[in-house]
């Protein structure tokens, strides 16, 4: 019995690994031409255009950005699933990082008529040392989720210092919104890949169901 269970477990692991490799490979194959399409679109947008041409190119750009975001989520998921995410440790400014993220999300924030509040404690240091790319990705996933599922409401991003020494800083970040919320029975499952709290959410709001899983990992 134990041998049979062990064999089943090994087969399941091999299947998961094969799935992860496939996701990674296909994502790379899609991302390369998609990056080229977006690059050419950006160049064309900087040329003389009539209103219809400009609208069409901007639609291509928005659609391409959305597809590239999905592809990047799939790549990050495959890296997290195989433990291949490597963290950097470099100086960065958290407030500048957050301002850049908000600029990228501004269109969605304005479209849903939301108010975004950012709360930093007075003694929060300007410069930190860590991985700004991964921290930015976590914050982007959380803020984007909050903004997407909130209409004409409030999204709040806050930071609370837990412990501060001369060489280390431990802090907690929260993202609060007045959106549709998550049922308590779904709190654990929403962090699983390809899971959303309600199937109808995917149809109405879109999304891959990977953002929170990547954030957790």
List pLDDT tens digits, range 170-179: 999 999 999 8
- DSSP letter for 210, please: -
Q: What is the mean pLDDT of residues 200-204?
A: 49
Output 11 or 50, whichever has higher pLDDT. Answer: 50
Q: Would you state the pLDDT for residue 122?
A: 92
Given a contact cutoff of 8 angstroms between Cβ atoms, the answer to whether 101 and 136 are in contact is yes
Q: Would you state the pLDDT for residue 124?
A: 93
| Confidence grade of residue 180 (pLDDT, cut at 50, 70, 90) | confident
Given a contact cutoff of 8 angstroms between Cβ atoms, the answer to whether 131 and 88 are in contact is yes
Q: What is the mean pLDDT of residues 17-22?
A: 72
Q: What is the mean pLDDT of residues 165-190?
A: 81
Write out the residue limits of the CATH 1.10.287.130 domain(s) in the chain. 1-81
Out of 74-78, 127-131, 191-195, pick the least confident: 191-195
pLDDT for residue 123 is more than 80? yes
Q: What is the mean pLDDT of residues 142-161?
A: 92
Q: Would you state the pLDDT for residue 211?
A: 52
Pairing of strands 169-177, 154-164: antiparallel
Q: Would you state the pLDDT for residue 187?
A: 60
Q: Would you state the pLDDT for residue 152?
A: 94
Residue with tokens 């049922």: 183
Q: Would you state the pLDDT for residue 215?
A: 59
Q: What would the CATH number be for the domain defined by 90-181?
A: 3.30.565.10
Q: Would you state the pLDDT for residue 9?
A: 74
Class in CATH terms, 1-81: mainly alpha
Share of the chain above pLDDT 70, in %: 77
Output 103 or 117, whichever has higher pLDDT. Answer: 117
pLDDT for residue 205 is more than 50? no
pLDDT tens column, 63-80: 888 788 778 767 776 666
Write out the residue limits of the CATH 3.30.565.10 domain(s) in the chain. 90-181
Q: What is the mean pLDDT of residues 36-60?
A: 93
Tokens of 131: 């991985």
Distance (Å) of CA 66 to CA 49, 69, 130, 156, 189: 23, 5, 28, 24, 25
Quote the pTM value.
0.61
pLDDT for residue 57 is more than 80? yes
pLDDT tens column, 82-93: 666 677 899 999
Residue with tokens 């501060």: 164
CA distance 205 to 45: 28
């Amino acid at each position: 019995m134990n041998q049979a269970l062990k064999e089943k477990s090994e087969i399941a692991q091999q299947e998961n690994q094969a799935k992860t490799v496939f996701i990674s490979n296909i994502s790379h194959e899609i991302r390369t031409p998609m990056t080229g399409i977006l690059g050419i679109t950006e160049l064309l947008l900087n040329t003389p255009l009539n209103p219809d041409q400009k609208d069409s190119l901007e639609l291509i750009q928005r659609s391409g950005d959305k597809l590239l975001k999905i592809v990047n989520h799939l790549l990050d998921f495959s890296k997290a699933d195989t433990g291949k995410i490597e963290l950097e440790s470099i100086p960065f400014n958290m407030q500048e990082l957050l301002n850049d993220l908000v600029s990228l999300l501004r269109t969605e924030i304005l479209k849903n008529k939301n108010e975004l509040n950012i709360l930093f404690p007075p003694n929060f240091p300007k410069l930190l040392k860590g991985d700004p790319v991964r921290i930015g990705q976590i914050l982007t996933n959380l803020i984007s989720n909050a903004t997407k599922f909130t209409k004409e409401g409030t999204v709040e991003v806050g930071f609370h210092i837990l412990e501060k020494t001369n060489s280390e800083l431990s802090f907690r970040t929260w993202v609060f919104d007045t959106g549709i919320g998550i049922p308590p029975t779904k709190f654990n499952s929403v962090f699983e890949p390809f899971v959303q709290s309600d199937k109808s959410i995917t149809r109405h709001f879109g999304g891959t169901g990977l953002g929170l899983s990547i954030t957790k990992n």
